[in-house]
Structure 1
Amino acid sequence: MDPPFTIGEYTVRSKVGQGPQSTVWKAEQKCSGEVVALKQVYLSKLNRNLKTSLDCEINFLSSVSHPNIIRLLHVFQAEGCIFLVLEFCSGGDLESYIRHHGRVQEWVARRFMQQLGLEVLHSHHIIHRDLKPGNILLSGPESDVLLKIADFGLSRTVHPGEHAETVCGTPLYMAPEVLRFKKYDEKVDMWSLGAILFELLNGYPPFCGRTNVQLLQNIESCKMLPFSQLISPGLHPDCVDLCTKLLSTNPVHRLSFDEFCRHRFLRGKGQGW
């Protein structure tokens, strides 16, 4: 159906994005005129694992209020779909931001990393499993951008000592243990953070491949992260250290969430150290 059309209390104005199981629309609440994002999830396209992830997404977003996590305003069901009414972020996503601006300065990358509200995920034992620039939204004016993690459609609860094994996510940001079909824990999100940090600094992801097999081979054969020669001489050692430790192929050696938060690179505040 092409917009405009009405679903429940909302007038749908335009399509924002689409995935295999859902479509995201820009819409207005008919009475108040409030602009929102409507995530339409097609129930017929959900298997048991995806239904569990949808329940996890709704339960988590309903229970948290954090400036760096997208706000869930309302949930309703209509026409064989679940609709999540979410706050609308007018700044687009981090993928578009990188495509428009190219690589960012080191202090901007640090500020963005400081903004990702992972402490909330960690405290709720949630792993996102699809952290990538396209799932990080921008709110506020460009001079003072606020990042918000969105799209928890693949998230699930994993308590300490537990593991997941479903292969899911976006390959360029997917931890090698997932690509290897191994069991995994919350450290898959830390790998994704490392890939996002690398892309912010360089303007391109750290690893690529025409297939998942080739991508994994490129990851496992890498002896040193492929930083652009245009920026590597000027990068602070703390920045390189954080990126390298997040992108450790062995999850045992990869930074934990707590180690990430305490890292020297993130403790800086201004444009210099």
Structure 2
Amino acid sequence: MPDFANMSKNGMLTKIHTRIRSDPFTANYDLAGKELGRGKFAVVKKCIEKSTGKQYAAKFLRLRRKGEDCRKDILNEIAVLESAKLNPYVVALHEVYETSHDIVLVLECAAGGEIFNQCVGDSDEAFTEEDVIRLVKQILNGVAFLHRNNVVHLDLKPQNILLTSARPLGDIRIVDFGLSRRMDSITEVREILGTPEYVAPEILNYEPISTATDMWSIGVLVYFMLTGDSPFLGDNKQETFLNISQISVDYSEETFEGISPLAVDFIKTLLVKNPRVRATAEECLTHPWLCPVSRPHLLTTSSSSSSSSHCSSLDEPETSQSESEPESPAPSPEMAVIETYALLCPGKSELKTGRAAFSFSESPFPTRPEIKQELIC
């Protein structure tokens, strides 16, 4: 359970239980291969633990960013990972080291890479609807665990959902808790942060953040996994924000060709402007689209969001080759720097920029020409 006594006013935890080691990281680990990803203030590299020969992902987080001490941000990320240690769908934290310039998080290595890669892959590599159903159930079970512990991720997107194995298709691991916050029933958290295409309307309106904020992002994520298109992405940030504010979504048969009406109905329960009526993670797990009894009718059956059909909320992890013999992720080019920018809200003074979040992706939607991934903070 969250330790609210050690929580700051903006929902960030200030106390951790993991020992931060000061002995040299390289005394216990060998760095292997190229970088797995890079952001403005972080870099992830594969490493091998010398004593066991096991592979891990080492996330190097800079302690000072733009001249400011960011230790509290890193401690918050560690604290969230600690609270999710019993969650099989959240990347596991193994150890923490500190150097003069960085804090190093030694994390479980998800060898299958980002689900983003298969969302935009060739037709023979892309997810089938059955694949998406299995992965979405895992994502929802992982997020439901976080929400039961009053944690909101606030940056759910394809780049932050990794796979234990790409072929055969493994299980998901949710990563990058740099923007995560803890909620309680007393304190309201209002911040402008996230990745533009995935932020909920309440973020743009500077309204209180809640677990429903993550559910909007999951709706966008599922849309992207099924179609390969970003539902709200415009030619610039302003157009993207306008599309989100107006809930401008293309549900045409052309866009969802070959995809079941149940899948479209599922997305519609999430891309709802009012967070109070948006489906929760637990409610989503009972939707007919995710129920085995409904699957034979995927292409012919439509359902309303109020359907009483029920299915189990549990989705056991499937054993993949990566558990016994991890495959090495393909070398990837250096990641584009994620930019931060100030968002000007109507009727409000300019809001300060925050920190950039780490991403495992070079570009959020390469199906469109050179659109940089940016961050609202």
- Give the CA deviation at 1:234: 4.1
State the partner residue of 2:281.
Answer: 257
Check 1:201–1:227 CA distance in 2 against 1; reply closer, same or farther (3 A cut).
Answer: farther
- Identify the match of residue 45 of structure 2 among 25, 31, 35: 25
- Give the CA deviation at 1:97: 1.9
Indicate the SS of the match to 1:210: coil
Q: Distance in 1 between matches of 2:180 and 2:70?
A: 9
Indicate the SS of the match to 1:89: coil
Per-residue CA distance 1:55-82 (angstroms, 9 max, x = gap): 2321232242232111111111113211
- Give the gaps of 5 or more residues in structure 2: 1-24, 298-377
Indicate the SS of the match to 1:143: coil
Q: Distance in 1 between matches of 2:132 and 2:187?
A: 32
Q: Does 1:12 align with 2:12?
A: no
Check 1:232–1:99 CA distance in 2 against 1; reply closer, same or farther (3 A cut).
Answer: closer
- Give the CA deviation at 1:183: 2.4
Q: Distance in 2 between matches of 1:163 and 1:185?
A: 9
Q: Does 1:238 align with 2:259?
A: no
Check 1:109–1:69 CA distance in 2 against 1; reply closer, same or farther (3 A cut).
Answer: same
Contact persistence 2:200–2:244 (CA under 8 A): no
**Within 5 A, what are the aligned runs for 1:72-91?**
72-91=93-112
- Identify the match of residue 70 of structure 1 among 91, 95, 108: 91
Q: Distance in 2 between matches of 1:269 and 1:55?
A: 44
Q: Distance in 2 between matches of 1:84 and 1:75?
A: 5
**Within 5 A, what are the aligned runs for 1:1-273?**
7-13=26-32, 14-45=34-65, 51-63=71-83, 64-101=85-122, 104-116=127-139, 117-140=142-165, 142-160=167-185, 162-222=187-247, 225-227=249-251, 229-230=253-254, 232=256, 234-268=258-292, 272-273=296-297
Q: Tell me which moved more, 16-25 or 259-268.
A: 259-268
**Which is greater in Rg?**
2
Contact persistence 1:107–1:272 (CA under 8 A): no
How many equivalent pairs are there? 268
Q: Distance in 2 between matches of 1:215 and 1:254?
A: 21
Q: Which has the higher contact order (CA 8 A, sep 6+)?
A: 2
Q: Distance in 2 between matches of 1:114 and 1:198?
A: 14
- Give the gaps of 5 or more residues in structure 1: 1-5
Contact persistence 2:289–2:295 (CA under 8 A): no
Contact persistence 1:27–1:37 (CA under 8 A): yes
- Give the CA deviation at 1:110: 1.3
Check 1:272–1:188 CA distance in 2 against 1; reply closer, same or farther (3 A cut).
Answer: same
- Give the CA deviation at 1:53: 4.1
Indicate the SS of the match to 2:240: helix
- Give the CA deviation at 1:249: 1.9
Per-residue CA distance 1:159-199 (angstroms, 9 max, x = gap): 24643212111111111211233322111110110011000
Contact persistence 2:233–2:240 (CA under 8 A): yes
Percent identity among equivalent residues? 30
User: TM-score, structure 1 length as denominator?
Assistant: 0.88
Q: Tell me which moved more, 30-39 or 123-132.
A: 30-39
Q: Distance in 1 between matches of 2:122 and 2:82?
A: 34
User: Which is richer in helix?
Assistant: 1
- Specify the code of the residue in structure 1 equivalent to 2:37: G
Contact persistence 1:179–1:212 (CA under 8 A): no
Contact persistence 1:202–1:228 (CA under 8 A): no
Check 1:87–1:233 CA distance in 2 against 1; reply closer, same or farther (3 A cut).
Answer: closer
Indicate the SS of the match to 2:263: helix
User: TM-score, structure 2 length as denominator?
Assistant: 0.65
Check 1:221–1:16 CA distance in 2 against 1; reply closer, same or farther (3 A cut).
Answer: same
Check 1:72–1:237 CA distance in 2 against 1; reply closer, same or farther (3 A cut).
Answer: same
Q: Distance in 1 between matches of 2:29 and 2:66?
A: 24
